[in-house]
Amino acid sequence: MLSRLRANRWVRLSVVALVLVFAGAALHSRWDEARDALSTLSPWPLAASALAAMAGLGAQMMAWRAILAGLGSPLPVPAAARVMFLGQLGKYLPGSVWAFVAQVELARDHRVERPRGLSATLLAVAVTLTVNLAVAAATLPFVSEAAARRWWWVLVCAPVLLAALHPRVVTAVIRAGARLVPRSRRPAEARPERIGGRAMAAAVAWSLAAWVPLAAHVWTLTAAAGAGADPRALPAAAGAYALAWTLGVLVVFAPAGLGIREVVLVVGLAPVLDPGSALVVAALSRLIMTLADLAWAGLAVLVSRSPVAPERP
């Protein structure tokens, strides 16, 4: 019954409509804060920030694709973009779990078994959050001694989590998770999952590469808001947004980290911006990232074909 519902066109259209409503609500919730800034800032930093945001999201999609290929299910770039970016719209629904569910189900349309799709999605999240903390640990000490003391736990956790991304550790965790699934629910053709070092290295490399444009997207706004002459603006923007992203994901009841990211970003930018200007940057960043999510989802639909429904036994 679940498979028939999932394949029903009207059910899917209803889900898409619901996601768009919540994404629109996320945009509306920050519009009042961003409106004045949009009218006073030059369009060039806003355009540069938007392009950087899209580049960062694109690199993160490539990281997820590398993990899925390493698990044995390579997808063409257009198909991977369709699965990733349409699935990610689920994060705008209350409860972060919907993005995972949507991504796994969309990958199923491309003949990726659900256990493998779930493993790839969870592992991609783990890589993203670990790299986020590594970026924060590498940048925050250059902002101020107070920032390093406030976020000391990041400096401690980052190297430990990076070590935990070793392929042997990851493979052991994936297989331990697979054993928790009842045998009756496992695909008949399923093999023990493993991931190689090349795939993990590619995923980490793409995730690190994503932080060049992601940091640039916040730094561009920070500079336009008045911190352009401060040499600490770039490390503050990178570290603050990395922490904001991480905590926004971990607080699962907030759709797309709504509210959590903004609070952390304002605190993280305190050494280079006053609270009012930092709040403007946070609101504009939210607006730009939401538009980037929607733009990537639209582009992915345009450049990829609708997949053939998976065969049913």
* Domain membership of residue 145 as a residue range: 2-183+194-303
Residue 189 lies in a domain: no
Q: What is the pLDDT of residues 250-281, one digit of tens each?
A: 765 555 556 678 888 888 888 888 887 888 88
CB within 8 Å of 50: residues ≥ 6 apart: 217, 288, 291, 292
Of 60, 196, 51, nearest to 121 by C-alpha is 60
Of 246, 248, 215, nearest to 233 by C-alpha is 215
Count CB neighbours of 284 within 10 A. Answer: 27
Residue 310 lies in a domain: no
Count CB neighbours of 310 within 10 A. Answer: 13
Q: What is the pLDDT of residues 211-250, one digit of tens each?
A: 999 999 999 999 988 877 788 899 999 999 998 888 877 7
Residue 282 lies in a domain: yes
End-to-end CA distance of the chain: 14
Residue 100 lies in a domain: yes
Q: How many residues does the chain have?
A: 313
Residue 267 lies in a domain: yes
Q: What share of the chain is helix, strand, coil (3-state, %, to 5)?
A: 80, 0, 20
Q: How confident is the model at residue 49 (pLDDT cuts 50, 70, 90)?
A: very high
Q: 36 versus 46: which is more confidently predicted?
A: 46
CB within 8 Å of 129: residues ≥ 6 apart: 161, 246, 249, 250
Residue 257 gets the label, from left (phi > 0), alpha (psi -120 to 50) or beta, of left
Q: In which residue are the tokens 């003391």 written?
A: 149
Residue 309 lies in a domain: no
Residue 45 lies in a domain: yes
Q: How confident is the model at residue 313 (pLDDT cuts 50, 70, 90)?
A: very low
Residue 311 lies in a domain: no
- pLDDT of residue 56 exceeding 80, the answer is yes
Q: What's the domain count of the chain?
A: 1
Q: What is the pTM of this model?
A: 0.81
Kind plus residue range of the DSSP H or E element containing 162 = helix 152-164
Residue 222 pLDDT: 92
Q: How confident is the model at residue 161 (pLDDT cuts 50, 70, 90)?
A: confident
Residue 296 pLDDT: 93
Of 85, 164, 172, nearest to 126 by C-alpha is 164
